[in-house]
Amino acid sequence: MISYGNHRFPGKLFVVEGTDGSGKSTQLALLYQWLKAEGYPVFFSEWNSSPLVKDTTKRAKKRHLFTPATFSLLHATDFADRTERDIIPPLKAGAIVLADRYIYTAFARDVARGCSRDWVRKVYSFAVKPTVAFFFRAPLDVAIDRIVSGRPSLKYYEAGLDRGWTDDPEESFTIFQGKILEEYDQMVSEFGLTKGGPSPISNKHFYGTPLPGVEQEEYSGKLIVIEGTDGVGRSTHIALLRTWLESRGHAVVDTGMTRSVLASRGIKEAKTGHTLGRLTMQLFYATDFIDRLENEMLPALRSGFVVLTDRYIYSAMARAEVRGIDSAWIRAIYGMALVPDAVFYLRIHSPQQLVERVLNSGGGFDYWESGMDLHLGEDLYDSFIEYQRRMLKVFDRMSDEYGFHVLNASRSVRSVASDLRRAVAKLIDEPAALEGKSGASQRVSEKGVPTTSSTSPLNPVDSTKKALL
């Protein structure tokens, strides 16, 4: 048997560890998506997931048959099966293996249950040493609140009720997690774990009523919005900005209007027939936005990613206003939106400049982007000019209201991209320097809501890139 630290495989093993509720699984899922997008062969292994011992584990938990020793040994059996079947073969083939929890979970939980540290380490001495093991350390009260508030009840062994500390599940869970965290903390130096966690950079706020089940909380990522009228170059600059940020080691997620899994297809189909009603359109777009906010933006921000979004609520509200929708109504709907860290408004001087760009793109005038449903002109050209003129007027007013960073988009792509990079670098690398200066932050502070800053969080994509070189 080859012991820990002596395996030599061409593949790479990356592990995430941490207490329940620390955000490690979200980080690993985003890392998996990034690696797949980069073209790497990736395999995934999760703690306590071996089909071989699944029924035995389930039966023992249901009937409360486990002792600390048998609990430890059966989980070691599960781990050995996954090591032999799911971890070593891909590593031998040169693939990347991502593990949601690893032997360090056993070292923490089993010792917290009373097993000997030395004995548990010997049991798992056959394990492959990870290329990098990330330890996500959330404050104990934050981690406990996430778990307790997200589940109807705590399970018997999950809460540590088998140890007899107390009969109250939440109190027992708190004691158990505290002991586990103590073990993790001493393992950081022993095993060289890469320590991080949700180090807050800013305390983000919602414009109005938060999403159901989501409270105001601290996010370690940054939400950056690129706004502007149709054809102004937003998508181009999002792509350039993403490439530049990733070259600097930042983990990036980009999104945009009508890209949600839930609603994007339906919106495109509804727009095809040119019969989409004005109210229906606004609610369809709002559905798209909220779906992306809940399932793309918030998880990425919690995990420390930079989120770039091509348009945000401002485009939706501007389009609604131009179509005569009640302003108070549409703003109430988008009150669930998170206040961005910065909004960069790519402003062009006149609709005529947009015409040139639309024609150069080869795509021609779009029915909806020309406002043809509003009957503003005799043809696509006249309607486009009038519609975009009205959009510019609304955006200019919003710029003052929401504190946009205005960039002259009439210049060359290189000049605009350079200005964007400088502004984003200050926002990400020097958060304290921009506190109270960025438009979104300044708008929030005027309403009496404080902003905070701290050091940058652990970036698994950054560390993974270095390990793959």
- Domains in the chain (CATH in brackets) are 12-196 (3.40.50.300), 202-453 (3.40.50.300)
Indicate the helix (H) or strand (E) that contains 404. Answer: none
Determine if the pTM surpasses 0.85.
no
Per-residue pLDDT tens over the stretch 275-314 = 788 999 999 999 999 999 999 999 999 888 999 999 999 9
Cα dihedral 170, 172, 176, 182 in deg (nearest 10): 90
Q: What is the pLDDT of residue 305?
A: 92
- Whether residue 262 contacts residue 288, with contact meaning beta carbons closer than 8 Å, is answered with yes
Q: What is the pLDDT of residue 44?
A: 93
Question: For the packed helices 439-446 and 380-402, what is the interaxial angle rounded to 10 degrees?
Answer: 50
Mean pLDDT is lowest, of 90-94, 121-125, 337-341, 462-466, for 462-466
- Whether residue 45 contacts residue 82, with contact meaning beta carbons closer than 8 Å, is answered with yes
Q: What's the DSSP call for residue 305? A: P
Per-residue pLDDT, averaged over 20-44, amounts to 84
Q: What is the pLDDT of residue 196?
A: 59
- Asked whether the predicted pLDDT for residue 450 surpasses 50, the reply is no
Q: What's the DSSP call for residue 297? A: I
Lateral strand order in the sheet of 405-408 = 252-256, 306-310, 222-227, 342-347, 405-408
Instruction: Name the burial class of residue 210, with classes exposed (0-12), middle (13-18) and buried (19+) by CB atoms within 10 angstroms of its CB.
Output: middle
Report strand pairing: 202-203 vs 218-219.
antiparallel
Token reading at 169? 């599940």
- Whether residue 397 contacts residue 197, with contact meaning beta carbons closer than 8 Å, is answered with no
Residue with tokens 């979200």: 26
In 5-28, which positions are buried (b, 16+ CB within 10 angstroms) versus exposed (e)?
eeeebebbbbbbbbbbbbbbbbbb
* Residue 149, number of CB atoms within 10 A of its CB: 10
- Asked whether the predicted pLDDT for residue 440 surpasses 70, the reply is no
Q: What is the pLDDT of residue 99?
A: 96
Per-residue pLDDT tens over the stretch 103-160 = 999 999 999 999 999 999 999 999 999 999 999 877 777 767 767 666 678 899 999 9
